[in-house]
Structures are given as structure tokens and as C-alpha cells.
A and B are shown apart, each in its own frame.
Chain A
Amino acid sequence: MAEAIRRRWGHFRRQPVFTGFCLFMAVLALNIIIQTPAKFFTVSNFRILLSKNMPLILTCLGQSVLMMCGVLDLSTGIQLAFVNVIAIMLPQELGVPVGLGWACALTGGVLISLFCGFCIVKLRLPALLTTFSITYIIKGVNVLIMGEPQGKVEKIIYKTYDSVLFGFLPFAALILLAVLLIWQYIKRTRYGRHMYAVGNNPRNAYAVGINPERVQMKAFLIKGFIVGLAGLCLTASNASGNPLQAEEYGIRSLSACMLGGMNFGGWGTLSCGLFGAGFLVIVQNAVYYLFNFLTKAIQGLMINSYWQNLVSDTIIFLGLLATIITAKAQRETLKQGFVKQLKRGEKYGG
């Protein structure tokens, strides 16, 4: 039994998600200490954490789906705002019923994601710079649709979104679970395997008969759906519209995936995005409570809120560097183990 556990652990250690898992656990522990377990492990704390941050978490998941296939999309963030403005403006300006309006917003999210996919996969433009430029395009479109932040959302929607079911399960968590469940299914289909193969080595995947272009476009489709959901969550969470929000979710989701252990080229899974997102969320939370504690503990210490953001951004930046360095170390040990095997092989008449 112990042997099986040890083997499982050894296998887990070699997975890319291991770094993300460690980072997440570290900051989680820190956060629990700072916020005190009494205040951390409350339903209301979980509810706030999850519902406020669900858009970001979902965005990170979507980005990880793309990175698994070897592509990415920096404009993912502003796409949330796109979904948001459509969801608000359609009912508000055109009198479309809210349900239909939101469905259209979701579709809009999917379509714009497919547009990005078209540029990167079919036109073969450089992913980073192209999606960065597309951010400007979407920013323009958003403001054209909705000039100023405005709009409101029916009370029942945002109340539901912020609610807690059965006394302990936040509604936002339900959405996350739904997405994770759908992913568990996709992972077990042939397509799931193909995504992985294409991300890691498109040429070899092609040699086996897989069509990398189709696989990558489908990834953009899936990500569009997830981002659409995220945009709707954002709408429900803020209960209003803002055409220029969430732009930085693009680079942050990219950082999250990398923190979680992913690399540019299909080494990593959705859980990397999940742990990376968790890291981002918990770091911000921990820093907030830390500063709270410091201002209370040390008399007369005035720290403006800018320090908070700086500290959390710096921690995330350092985490990013740490991930890359550990990834390099992982690759080195991989190569070392490889060389050792060769040496062993040679001893036995190689």
C-alpha cells in the first residue's frame, strides 16, 4: 500500500502541475495563518472569494485549454467585457428579453474567440502580438456598443449569483464545478488526447493523421464558451456594465497558467490553470489581510492601497520567475535521468 502511494506521489511530482500545486498550497497556508482559520473557513468567506473571482478563475481555465494545444489569446480579458456589454445593452437598448440577451452575449463570446482563432490558426499570425492588437480592436468595439459604464441587472440574477445553496455551497462554485465536470468528460474523449498531442508536437501529431488546425480551432471554441460564461459571471457580479474592464485578465490568465506549471507548448493540463488561478486569488486576498493586520498592529502606519497592488503584483511576478526556473530544473533532471539510463544501458552490453 505504501509502495503504491509512493509511486503515485513520484508520478505526481513529475507532472507539470506539481509546481502550481506547491505554490498554491504555500500561499494558501500563508493566507489561512494571516486571516486566522476562524475567519478563513467560513461559508461567507468562501462565497465572497469565489463569486468575486469566478470570472478570473474561468478565464484562466479557458486560457489553459488554449495553451494545452499550443496557442494562446491575450485578448481573453477584454472579451469578458465584450460579453458583458452585449448582455447589458441588448435588453437595455433593444428591449430583448434578458434570457435571450444573455444567450446572445454568450454566443458573441464564442464568435469573437473564433475570430482570434482564425487569425492565429488559419492565417498563422504570431499569437502574442496579434492577440495583443486584437485587444485594441475589441476595446474600440466595446466602447462603440456601450459608451460609458452603465446598466443594471435584475435583482434576482445578482442575488442568485451571490447566494449560497444548501447553507454551504456558493452558487459561483456550482458554475466552476459544472465547467470542471464538462472538462473531465472532454479529457476522456479522443479529442482530449489529440489536443495534448497537437500542443506538444504538431508535426508528430500530424504524422499520426490528426489535423492540428481543426483541433486548435475547437480549442478556441471551448475557450469561447468558458469566456462567455465568465463574462456573464462578471455581469452578475458587478450588476452593471463596463466596456473597458478586465483587460488585464489576458496577461494575468497567461501568468496563472505559467505559474501553474504550463509552458508554451502543450505541457500541462487544466489543473495548472486552476492552481495558477488559485494562486493569484489567494495572493491578493492574503496581501489584503496582511496589510489590514499591519495597519491595525502598528499604530499610525499609513499604507495606501497602491502598495497592496504592488506587493501582490510583485509576488506574482516572482512566482512566475520561480516557475520557469523550476521548469528548467525539471527539464535538466529529466535529461540527467535520461543520461543515467543510457549509462546503465551501456553497462549491460549496449
Chain B
Amino acid sequence: MFEMRGITKDFDAVKALKGASLSVRPGEIRSLLGANGSGKSTLVKVLAGLVKPDGGEVFIDGKPVRIRTSYDSKQLGIATAFQDLSLIPTMTVIDNIKLNKETVGHFGTIDVKKDRRDVEELLKLFRVRCDLDAYAQTLMPSTQSMLEVAKAVYAKPRLLLLDEVTATLHHDEIEGLFELLRKLRDEGTAIVYVTHRMKEVAKLCDSATIMRNGETVAELARDELNDLDGIVYHMTGKVPDKAKACGAQAAAAEGEALLEVSGLKYSPKVRDLSLTAYKGEILGIGGLDGQGQSEFIRLLLGEFQPEAGAIRYRGKEVRFRRPAEAVENGIGFISGERNREAIFPLRTIAENLFVGRTATGGLFKFIGNRRVNGFAREAVEKYNIKVGELEDPASSLSGGNQQKLIVARWIAVMPELLLLDDPTKGVDIASRREIHQILRQCAQKGMTVVVSSSDNDELMDLADRIYVFYEGRVQALLSCEDKTQERLVAEMMGFAEKEERANG
């Protein structure tokens, strides 16, 4: 019997877990559900020993245990298959599976023959066919995922944690895997299955734990697993809304297309994307994490180059080789991943605000402090950014104010096309509302806004039309009456009334 109670974890300013709990019995397959950012991956990492919780306790068979390192986790009989894979890319299949479990033969050397036999047997069990001596990085993603699971199962764990392992698997492979998991369950293994695919939950799992915003909000039994509405309610925390009046759609219908994307392809996340954005509209891009949204934004920006497909911007086909080219052509980029992609923590607030102007223009032109500070002072007033001093480093601002800064930085430059990738992640409600207001005003002035968000409320609020991405393709386009929370979540989960795709 494995139990976690009251687990808390803060990453710098973000509260990933706020008293989450999870329990699973031997001989049970429990699914762990939650929207983006609900904390389910973090919770799994705590059990795996990769994240040290700030508070809470873990019990095994009623006795409290301390998981200090991943080694402890292994010793306690816990094995994990990670979403982002824990294989060593430049080691062979055999070496990877046997890593840290190698059989020792004569004189302390590894018994290579026995290792090979063991791995052959294991792969036969999993019905995986691949060259045992191939380097892991040369294998297909589906094979890699299967190996990741095989590696975990090989450890003969008491508790098996599977974090989104079916993302790249084919239909048959999933069936085979499920058979194996059921067999393991019947033999007494406890299994935690993290997924976003509702159909799999219904097919495989005995129970479910639902998380939202770092807390555990519900635990469902087998018979409740088919109630999609109920699950959506737990995951989002509210009853699905009635559709709002569709006013702004008019602008889109009349407008000219600023951006036309067709057949865009970028392995492995973007398979075949086609969409259109009109001048002066706010276009939303929804979907679960990792369905190709952020890759799409970066393809538009020129950070990535597509393998196939075309992008038409301002009526001409374009191929930006780097973001600098896109920015010169009137494109702006606002990222929710502030620390990695937008904020310069050691630079002053004034400099951070001036970035839009810094990026374009003559390289050796004089830029005086007065100009920078003047610009910054205006921006701070106009957008109501709470700062101490303009010379303070940007890291001193709160998340919400940082985000407002980033928005201000780009609005001041008035790009034609503004790309936003999860812009209000971790931002407080008030700042979020202010940012939305600013974006709406810009769209009215003629700016085209493309906003990708994992927050459905935000999409519903802001966007005139919403494209839903699922596994690298456009799953649906919602506008006007279609634009409801229920429809949005259903499309996100791939729970469409349309014909099923082979990927399940």
C-alpha cells in the first residue's frame, strides 16, 4: 500500500504542489489525471526521487519512508518510466536496460552473454523488435518509449509509475502494453498511470486520482470513470459555460488573411498543420501540453525551420532563418516561459522594457540612458507595472509584473503579428485581466494576435476563433457557437465524434 499525503513543493516562485495526495494498492491500476500544470508530473518525480518535497509524507504499508535520492526510490521497489525518457541516447539498447543492474560475472566484469539473454527475453515479452546493439537515439520514438517502460518493468517493482508513456505508441503497441500491465496488476504490482487520454483510462484503469493546481481534488472509482463531464468538472473546477455572444467574429470574416500556413511539418511534434489568421483578430491555439503548439509558434518565428509545408505572411511565402529576421518583418514574440525566453534577470527593468527597440535598428547608433529611461517610465505608467526603481534588476518583479513588462515591451513596438506562447502562466488574476485588456485593444487597432494557451478560460475569454491542436495536427476549429468549454476540452482529449485516427 503506497500513500502520499500533503506533499508541497515550490520551484522558486511557482507553487507546483500544494498539499497533494495519492494512494495506490497492490493489484490496482490507478490513473493520475490533471490539466496542464496541475502538478501530476511533479508528484511522480517526488516518488521517483528526482524532486525533494518541501513538505508532506510518504508511507509504504503504513510506515513513513524518506526518499532522498533516486537510489532510495529504487530500493523501495519503485520504478518509473518518464515522459521525457530516461534512456542514455548514446548507449545501446542492452546497456540501457541493464544500466545499474548489470550482472557481474568473473573477476568483477559484466557477464555480457547473460545480459543479452535477459534483455532478449524481456523484449520478447514486450513484443518489441529492434537491434539490441543499436544506439537508443537511433530508434523510433515509439520503440524508445516501449524500452523506457520495459526498463522500468525489468526492475520487478512493487510500484510502477508510468508518466505519459503512450504518447508516441501505435495502436497495437498500446494494446500489447495494456495486456502486460493487466498481467502485472494481477500479479500484485501497484501501478500509477499518468495520461491525458480518457479512452485509455476507461479501458485500463481501476480508479483515478484527479489533480488541479497542485492539489488532489477527487478520487474516482471504476464506475465513475466514464463520466466525462464529471471528470472535466474536477479538472477545471467549474461547470462548463454557455457560449458567449460571437461579436468579434465579424472582423475575422471580412478581414484579409495575414498569415496562411499549409501542411507544416516539423518532426516529431508537428505532423501536418494548416491554418489561417486574419488581420485584426485574436486567434487562439488550444490543446494539451506538447501537441505541437509551441513548436508551431517557433516555426512562425523562424527559430525552427519546417521540414515541409509553407508559410505565407503578408501575402508572400516566407522562410525566416532566425527570429531576428521575423522581428525585422514585424513579428513579435511573448513567451510565458519568462526565465528562459523573455526576461533578462540581471538587467534592469528599464533595459528589459527597451528590448523591443534594442532588437531593431542600426547596430552602432547611440542610445542614451535618458532615452531608455524615458521610454521605460512611460511604459510603466501606461501599463500599470509595479516597480521599485527602474534600475532594479528585472528579477525583482513579481511574475505578473514581469509578464506585463514583456507585453509592454512588444506593444510599444506595435508589430503586425504578435505571437504569444502561454503568456499568463503563473500570473495572478488581476495582471492577467490587464494583459487581456491590452491585447484586445491592440487587436482593435489592427494588430493580429496569435495566442497559444494551456488555460482554457484564457482562450475562451480572449480568442475570436480557436484552433485545437492534437498530436501535431489541427483537430478542430471552434468559433461562435462551437466555442464552448465542453467542446474545447473534448477536442483537447481527442474525444471527438469524428473518425478515430490510428494513434488512438
Interface residue ranges, A against B (CB under 8 Å)? 11, 14, 185, 188-190, 192-194, 196-197, 200-201, 204-211, 266-267, 334, 337-339, 341-342, 345, 349-350
Contact = CB atoms under 8 A, between A and B. Distances in A.
B109 A342 contact: no
* CB-CB nearest 10 A-B residue pairs: A188-B109, A207-B86, A209-B71, A204-B86, A209-B74, A197-B88, A208-B100, A190-B102, A200-B90, A208-B99
A208 B107 CA distance: 24
B276 interface: no
A210 B90 contact: no
The secondary-structure label for the interface of chain A is helix
A156 B90 CA distance: 47
A64 B352 CA distance: 43
Nearest to B106: A188
B363 interface: no
B282 to A, nearest CB: 34
B157 to A, nearest CB: 12
Contact of B502 (A207, A337, A339, A349): A349
A121 B65 CA distance: 29
B230 interface: no
Contacts of A341: 140
A149 to B, nearest CB: 43
Contacts of B358: none
Given A193-B110, A196-B90, A207-B86, 7 more contacts: A196-B88, A201-B89, A204-B86, A204-B88, A207-B70, A208-B100, A209-B71
Contacts of A349: 170-171, 502
Contacts of A11: 133
18 contacts: A14-B135, A188-B112, A189-B109, A189-B110, A196-B91, A204-B86, A209-B71, A211-B69, A211-B71, A267-B90, A334-B137, A339-B307, A341-B140, A342-B140, A349-B502, A350-B142, A350-B170, A350-B503
A188 B111 CA distance: 9
Contact of A334 (B85, B95, B138): B138
Contacts of A206: 50, 69-70
A342 B268 contact: yes
A200 B88 contact: yes
A228 to B, nearest CB: 23
Contact of B140 (A185, A194, A345): A345
A197 B99 contact: yes
A207 B138 contact: no
A207 B82 contact: yes
B80 interface: yes
A206 B108 CA distance: 22
B437 interface: no
B140 A200 contact: no
Given A188-B109, A193-B99, A193-B110, A207 B137 contact: no
Contact of A337 (B88, B102, B138, B171): B138
A139 to B, nearest CB: 34
Most chain A CB inside 10 Å of its own CB: which residue of B50, B73, B90, B170: B90
A11 B267 CA distance: 25
Nearest to B95: A193
Nearest to A194: B100
A271 B146 CA distance: 32
Nearest to B111: A188
A207 B80 contact: yes
A67 to B, nearest CB: 13
Contact of B142 (A193, A204, A345): A345
B100 A189 contact: no
B100 A209 contact: yes
A350 B140 CA distance: 11
Nearest to A14: B135
A181 to B, nearest CB: 13
Contacts of A201: 88-89
Contact of A210 (B99, B137, B268): B99
Nearest to B103: A190
A204 to B, nearest CB: 4
Nearest to B268: A342
Contact of B102 (A14, A193, A205, A266): A193
Contacts of A267: 90
Contacts of B170: 345, 349-350
Contacts of B87: 204
B290 interface: no
Contact of A342 (B95, B108, B267): B267
A314 B85 CA distance: 42
Interface string B97-126: 011101010011110100000000000000
A37 B99 CA distance: 47
B6 interface: no
Contacts of B138: 334, 337-338
